[in-house]
Chain A
Amino acid sequence: MNLDSLMLMRDELVLTVIILLLLVAEILLSSKNKKYIIQLGLVLFGIYTFLAFLPNKTGELFGGSYNTYPLVHYFKAILAFGVFMILLQSVTWIKEKLLPYDFTAEFFILIFSSLIGLNFMMSAGDFLMFYLGLELSTMPIIALTAFEFWNHRSVEAGVKYVMLASISSAILLFGVSLVYATAGSINFDVIKGALHLPLLEIIGLIMIFIGIGFKISLVPFHFWAADVYEGAPTVISNYLSVISKGGAVYVLMTLLFITFTAFQKEWNWIMYGTAILTMVVGNLFALRQQNMKRFLAFSSIAQAGFILLAMLSNNELGVKAIIYFLLIYIFSNVAAFGVVHVISLKTGKENIDDYNGLYLSNPKLSLVLMIALFSLAGIPPVAGFFAKFFLYAAAASKGYYVLIFIAVLNVTISLYYYLLPVRAAFLRRSEHPIPYFRSDNYSRLAFIIAMAGLLALGLYSGVFEFISNISNIF
């Protein structure tokens, strides 16, 4: 171990240093100056995000427990960018709700710890590191879910989340132990070579899949999602629905495509069924939601179903499609949640009907909402269209036309509910619309970034080509 090899885990180290700096700042700053922690956290994380985009070497550490390669490195950077946008949106919330209780530094420390966990999980080379990362990413988020402790719904959401997260971890661990029992190792490479298809291994794989399925909120493991998203502070719902889901999808992808690729025939059927279930159930439940946060929760469940389409491909095209989709999904969901967040913070209103006549009072916010929802629904020229198209293409490359047919029918259904907030904001008028307000500059910056991303990433193919070039992980 020397400095060079240590630099392989640069992302995690920098984040750890940031956390320590914030801890020190929290201790040193007098209570009058605590508000500068927000700026400090933002700036430090901005630096981290910038560093994350610089290229890194390929290699492994700790005897193969930790490895890094371009795809995982840049995917970490994408997640960091997503977190940065979320942080920008949360500034006002922190100032208004957390600063009086002096919880600012804790917020940053917890969310950064969770991100470190995700990074370790994605870079894991064996189940030990994988599990440590998973838990490190989940625990802080449980705390953050219950962070608005004066609000009983937030606490309730925290309790729900801790229950289901621990159950899913238990199932996952059981699965891991079954795989260990048959393959004789927890190292992914060794397992890959030692798989010989006894039933026990398949059961183990299914249990691991269930454990990760909880994180991605696949049906039938989605029951926590709507309640937790609704109860948690909006920024945390946002984090849960894009960042932590994105990390889990990445891990699922590498596990299936690389480690368990020998089981393809078995897990393909599981994916096939789960994909249909997730799309249909997510869509049908989203149809009737009134609360915007619950609505986005079910929408994000349905979106997870679409990701599974590309999971079936087990080829490079699938990797590209998934990574690109997650990138676009981060932009769209962050923007959509952001609008809900600023409106909810300003007026306390979260229902779709409350948005009636929004365009007349807040045209820019309505446009952001519309573009974000169009992206989620997959309407060109917004980037979401291209992302979805590539998912279908990945599934079509293996000839799953029936599944694509079901998926496109689901897209049509989903268009209905994505148009509901648009209808409220643009088509309807209201006696008591949400009054005009100017959202804070940090949120505006986040919206501008998200909009630029959504409009440019599809029409300009460079980003996709870049992802294409680093997607060879087989």
Chain B
Amino acid sequence: MDILTLFVVVPVLIVLAMVLFTKDLKQARMVTLIGMLVQLGMSINLIVRYMDARAAGNHAIMLFEKNVPWFSEFNAHYHIGVDGVSVLMILLTTLIVIAGTFVSWKIDYLPKEFFISLIVLATGVYGFFISLDLFTMFVFYEIAVIPMYLLIGIWGSGPREYAAMKLTLMLMGASALLLVALLGIYFTSSAGGQAPTFDLLELAQRKMDFEWQKIFYPLAFIGFGTIGALFPFHTWSPDGHASAPTAVSMLHAGVLMKLGGYGIFRFAMYLMPEGALFWQDFFLILAVTGVTYGALSAIQQTDLKYINAYSSVSHLGLVLFALLMINKTAWNGAMLQSLSHGFITALFFALIGMIYGRTHVRDITKMQGMMRIVPFLSVAYVVAALANLGLPGFSGFVAEMNIFVGGFMNNDLYKQVLTAFAVTSIVVTAVYMLRLTGRMIFGPTTKIYTNLPKAFWYEKTAIAILVLFITLIGTLPFWWLQFIEESVNNFIQPLIK
């Protein structure tokens, strides 16, 4: 079996092992952890082999391709392959799932089912990142979304039923739009007399009619954009995050929401470049609104999870914003931001979950001086906050720097003004992040919380993994950019002539 298919098969095997052999929490988490460590080994192996192949002068757009006919009637294939961006996304997914497993170390209600749903979700995500066929991609996309309903609905808190339903319906509604776009792309691809196809690389060779692009591009963009928290379709995300259990918030904000930006980068813009240019200005306004509106909303919130959820809307808005700027620097920034935001938000949600697990309060006005009570968690929280507001040395800075430089590289005044608006979000982020840390971490200690337990080893492990990668991206940005750059170079080609 080829190296990529294993990424989908191994999780399925883990699930099977869990269904057949595990009985309680201890076994379930061990099986998950071992399985995910295997996945980690495979991810590292993939990166090494990928670098070897590139160093050996293999400059194909996609590596490790495999193409098996699935429904020959529709010319739908199981076609997979990776380039630099997908390799990094796979690594991100693996690390977040491992961190999520550590965070869920003590989950008590239906642990086996919890880990199974988590892994099914991860399977969908892996599949999505390796797909080169629109049909395969769509199947995996939906596989990734639906476990979310159970994860939030069963293990969530607060208005979990409402949040789970809202999230599922909005994401599935978006995927319905995407489906129309896919069928449109498929059937219009036969215009030249060839058989219609779902194959990404082949579709890119066939030029889609501009009139059709104008119709199907916005459907695809909104379809992907919704899961990437595109304003005004982001409303599922704060509610969903607030109600989700910790590991699910991590995986959700860290990985699942990245499918949006990735999908636009990989499929929507690549296949419909003229449509993308046609709709560019319109979607830019939405993206900038999302960036500033998300940041401003975060100021207003007092619930830790809501603050972070709106912060995610803002920071993922930057990904869409950068993609819409359509130049290499901005796109590099967009991909780096996807990665960086994945680690930072995951860290945030992990910490929020740990603090909430101790205080049973998420309201920042109700707790103070956590630094003295749980120093490890507090320090980690400060690190996350600084990374989030873009302090040099952490990943956020590198990514946002690229995005804004890319934005200003446009000679067009309209885009420069919008970029200026987007830049203000950094200031606003600094405001809410510093205010939050000032209030919650420092200051006099709230009396009732003085006897809280310190961080446990599994919590420390999860945090260490995430912090490590945040600093790795921040200090060694060019190592990561080498993967992103060649991929961006290939995929921006149809858009810049």
Q: A residues within 8 Å of B by Cβ?
A: 317, 320, 374, 379-381, 385-386, 389-390, 392-393, 396-397, 399, 401, 404-405, 408-409, 411-412, 415-416, 419, 422-423, 426-428, 461, 464-465, 468
The answer on a CB contact under 8 Å between A419 and B173 is no
The answer on a CB contact under 8 Å between A381 and B153 is no
How many chain B residues sit at the interface, stated as a range, is: 20 to 34
Chain B residues numbered 124-153 whose CB sits less than 8 Å from any CB in chain A: 139, 142-143, 146, 149-150, 153
Report the Cα distance A423→B168, complex, angstroms: 12
Which 10 A/B pairs are nearest by Cβ-Cβ distance? A408-B176, A427-B153, A396-B183, A412-B173, A380-B139, A461-B71, A380-B142, A468-B73, A396-B187, A379-B146
The answer on a CB contact under 8 Å between B143 and A381 is yes
Is B401's CB within 8 Å of the partner chain A? no
Which A residues lie within 8 Å of B215 (CB)? 401
The answer on a CB contact under 8 Å between A419 and B168 is yes
Partner of B172, one of A317, A399, A412: A412
Given contacts A392-B183, A408-B176, A427-B154, contact A465 B73 (CB under 8 A): yes
Q: With both chains docked as a complex, state the minimum distance between the C-beta of A280 and any C-beta of chain B, in angstroms.
A: 15
| Max count, chain A CB within 10 A of own CB: residue among B72, B143, B154, B172 | B172
The answer on a CB contact under 8 Å between B169 and A416 is yes
Report the Cα distance A318→B272, complex, angstroms: 28
Report the Cα distance A415→B169, complex, angstroms: 7
Report the Cα distance A65→B257, complex, angstroms: 59
Report the Cα distance A130→B173, complex, angstroms: 41
Report the Cα distance A427→B164, complex, angstroms: 10
The answer on a CB contact under 8 Å between A393 and B183 is yes
Q: B residues within 8 Å of A by Cβ?
A: 70-74, 139, 142-143, 146, 149-150, 153-154, 160-161, 164-165, 168-169, 172-173, 176-177, 179-180, 183-184, 186-187, 215
Which B residues lie within 8 Å of A408 (CB)? 176-177, 179-180
Which A residues lie within 8 Å of B160 (CB)? 427
Which B residues lie within 8 Å of A320 (CB)? 73
17 contacts between A and B (CB under 8 A): A380-B139, A381-B139, A392-B179, A404-B180, A404-B183, A408-B179, A409-B173, A411-B172, A412-B176, A415-B168, A416-B169, A419-B165, A423-B153, A426-B153, A427-B150, A427-B154, A427-B161
Not counting A408-B176, A427-B150, a sample of 13 additional A-B residue pairs whose C-beta atoms are within 8 angstroms of each other reads A385-B142, A393-B74, A393-B183, A401-B183, A401-B215, A412-B172, A415-B168, A416-B169, A419-B149, A419-B165, A428-B161, A461-B70, A465-B71
Which A residues lie within 8 Å of B187 (CB)? 396-397, 399
Q: With both chains docked as a complex, state the minimum distance between the C-beta of B80 and any C-beta of chain A, in angstroms.
A: 15
Report the Cα distance A316→B442, complex, angstroms: 70
Q: With both chains docked as a complex, state the minimum distance between the C-beta of B220 and any C-beta of chain A, in angstroms.
A: 13
Which A residues lie within 8 Å of B177 (CB)? 405, 408
Q: With both chains docked as a complex, state the minimum distance between the C-beta of B116 and any C-beta of chain A, in angstroms.
A: 11
The answer on a CB contact under 8 Å between B184 and A465 is no
Report the Cα distance A416→B173, complex, angstroms: 11
Q: With both chains docked as a complex, state the minimum distance between the C-beta of A467 and any C-beta of chain B, in angstroms.
A: 9
| Max count, chain A CB within 10 A of own CB: residue among B165, B168, B179, B215 | B179
Report the Cα distance A436→B179, complex, angstroms: 41
Report the Cα distance A409→B70, complex, angstroms: 27
Report the Cα distance A465→B70, complex, angstroms: 10
Which B residues lie within 8 Å of A380 (CB)? 139, 142-143
Which B residues lie within 8 Å of A381 (CB)? 139, 143
Report the Cα distance A317→B75, complex, angstroms: 13
